[in-house]
Homo-oligomer: A and B are copies of this chain.
Amino acid sequence: MLRPETARALGKASTATLTTQLFKRGFRNLFMQGVRPLGAPGRNLVGPAFTLRYIPAREDLDPIETYADPEHPQRKAIEIIPAGHVLVIDCRGDARAAAAGHILITRLSVRGAAGLVSDGGVRDSAAIAALGFPVFCAGPSAPLGLIAHHAAEFGVGIGCGGVAVLPGDVIVGDADGVVAIPAALADEVALDAAAQEEMEEFIQSRVAAGAKLPGTYPPNAETRASYEAWRQARTKE
């Protein structure tokens, strides 16, 4: 369960700050490689992962008629994903074909999903960008998924952009890309990220005003004291 205050805090934290918090906890590989925002991201994408797994397509398993089956894992996943969740699709980093297109993403949006993340491509990229629905992927790719992907199952652990994603992991995306936070760590990471961001706002203002890096970034005792004073002054406002 993603707590609302955690989601709120993560919505304000950059993926840069989050990967630093995760590094401090021993995690070095939670940022997806090769996965970028489609269109200009506004505020952060935040939500628990709902996973969908593709394997390579096979001609006999993947005729175009397969999409008419209501149990087709891609269609089913889109119909049952809980509101606020992020559909994360494992395309094995293969962007030769689309993980999804305009109509499916519209349906995701109508159903209240928080966004779509994939290490594959998406088709109808211009129409999708116009939807304003958060999509992170390997880039535009027109061919229908069936030339490369067979939807195998949903709700299982997957890889996406070289990162392990378990159902319920908290996905955060911004202009830099996408990070997958292990569910059990989301609350504390959100809290510490907020603190780090506030500290870095202070440091950034110091550096912009001419402060040298040593002693400022990372902060020494003196800078930390100044920060505390600044923070308390600000809180009173």
Contact = CB atoms under 8 A, between A and B. Distances in A.
A20 interface: yes
How many copies of this chain does one complex carry?
6
A164 interface: yes
A176 interface: yes
A232 B23 CA distance: 44
A123 B174 contact: no
* Size band of the interface chain A makes with B: 35 or more
A158 B53 CA distance: 10
Nearest to A75: B213
Majority secondary structure of chain A interface residues (helix, strand, loop or mixed)? mixed
Interface of A: 14-16, 18-20, 23-24, 26-31, 33, 36, 55-61, 64, 67-68, 70, 75, 78-79, 92-93, 96, 98, 101-104, 106-107, 110, 123-127, 139-144, 146-147, 150, 152-153, 156-159, 162-165, 174-177, 179, 182, 200, 203-204, 207-208, 210, 212-214, 217-218, 220
